[in-house]
Amino acid sequence: MAVMTYLQAISEGLRDEMRRDERVFILGEDVGQYGGAFKVTAGLQEEFGEWRVLDTPLSETAIVGAATGAALGGMRPVAEMQFADFVSCAWDHLTTVSAKQYYRMGTPIPMVVRLPCGGGFSGGPFHSQMYDGYFAHVPGLKVVLPATPEDAKGMMIEAIRDPNPVLFFEHKNLYRRIKGEVPEGNYSTPFGKARVAREGADITIIAWSAMVHTATDAAEQLAKEGIDVEVLDMRTISPLDFDAIATSVTKTSKCIVLYEDTRTGGFGAEISARIMEELFETLDGPVKRVATLDSPIPFSPVLEKVVLPQVEDVITAVRELSAY
C-alpha cells in the first residue's frame, strides 16, 4: 500500500494501464508537455511519447469525436475535458453516437472521458458544475464518481478496460485535499457496487463523489449528539447499486440523499423516487434531499457556500429527520 492523493491515484491508474496495454492513449487540451490543467497527466508524454499522449486543438467536439472513432477502430482512448462543463460542446457525439453505437450496430466503444467536475474552489458558473445527472439519463453511458484515492485508481483501470463509453467524473476539490492508502500494482474496482463509508443504525445518507466526505464529516459531528448515521458511497450512479440502498435504508428506516447536482432534476431525485416506490413500507419518515440550489454556481466564495451543500446543511436535515 502507498499513500497517495486522489490526483496521484488517477494518474497512477492511467500509467498502469498504458504500460499494460499499448492500445491505451490519452488525448486532450494541454495533456502532453504541460501535463494537463491539473497536472494529472504530468510525465506521461515523457514516458509514452507524443503519439500516446496527444495534445489536441481547443475543441471538445473534435476530442470526443476522435476518441469515438479511435474506439471503433480498436483503440482504447482516454479523452480529457479540462473542465466537465465544456463537455456540453460534445453532447451530440456522446449521446447520439457513442452511447447508441452498440445498440445500433453491436460494435463496442471502449473509451473514457475524464471530467474534472464540481465546485468549492470559487471557479464560477462555467467551471464548477456537476453534469452527472445529465448523462445518467442516457442509456449506453456509464457514470463513475469515485470519492477515495483507492477507488479513483481502481475505477480508472476498470473504466479503461470497459467495452462501453465511461464518463469518469473527478471532483476537483478532492484532487489534492484527499489522501489515502492505495494498493500497489494493477487492480480494478467493479462498477455498480456501492461502499459503506461509515456504518450507522439511525439514518442513511446516500452520496457520491465529494459529497461522501461532506456526509462523513457531518456524521462524525452528529455522533456527539447520539445520532448514528450510516454513509453509503454509491461510487457509480449508472449502473446504480439499488440493492445496497435497499439494505441500508431497510436497516435505518430513514434516508437522506445528498448530491451536488441541482436539486431539481438531479440524479438524487431519481434515487428518492425509487426509494419511495420500492421501500415505502420500510420508512419511518420522508426521504429528504440535500442538494445544490437551482442556481448557477457563484464566483463569490460566500455565495458559493450558500448554493452548494455544506456540512451544516446535512446536519440540519439529519436533525429534522431524526426528530420526525
User: Which pLDDT value is given to residue 190?
Assistant: 97
Average pLDDT score over residue span 56-67: 97
- pTM given for the model: 0.97
Query: What region does 106 belong to: left with phi over 0, alpha with psi -120 to 50, or beta?
Result: left
In the three-class reduction of DSSP (H, G, I as helix; E, B as strand; rest coil), residue 117 is classed as strand
> How do residues 271-312 score in pLDDT, each as one tens digit?
999 999 999 999 999 999 999 999 999 999 999 999 999 999
Cα 236 to Cα 144: distance, rounded to the nearest angstrom: 4
Query: What region does 140 belong to: left with phi over 0, alpha with psi -120 to 50, or beta?
Result: left
Pairing of the two strands 229-233 and 255-262: unpaired
Cα 14 to Cα 26: distance, rounded to the nearest angstrom: 9
Average pLDDT score over residue span 60-70: 97
> How do residues 204-262 score in pLDDT, each as one tens digit?
999 999 999 999 999 999 999 999 999 999 999 999 999 999 999 999 999 999 999 99
Secondary structure of 31-88 in HEC code, one letter for each residue: CCCCCCCCCCCCCHHHHHCCCCEEECCCCHHHHHHHHHHHHHCCCEEEEECCCHHHHH
Cα 260 to Cα 297: distance, rounded to the nearest angstrom: 11
Cα 322 to Cα 318: distance, rounded to the nearest angstrom: 6
DSSP E strand boundaries for 187-233: 195-198, 203-207, 229-233
Residue positions annotated with a catalytic role: 127
- The full set of domains in the chain, from first to last, is 2-182 (3.40.50.970), 195-322 (3.40.50.920)
Distances (CA, A) of 318 to 80, 114, 226, 269: 37, 33, 12, 18
Cα 119 to Cα 209: distance, rounded to the nearest angstrom: 12
User: Which pLDDT value is given to residue 145?
Assistant: 98
Query: What region does 209 belong to: left with phi over 0, alpha with psi -120 to 50, or beta?
Result: left
Cα 141 to Cα 147: distance, rounded to the nearest angstrom: 20
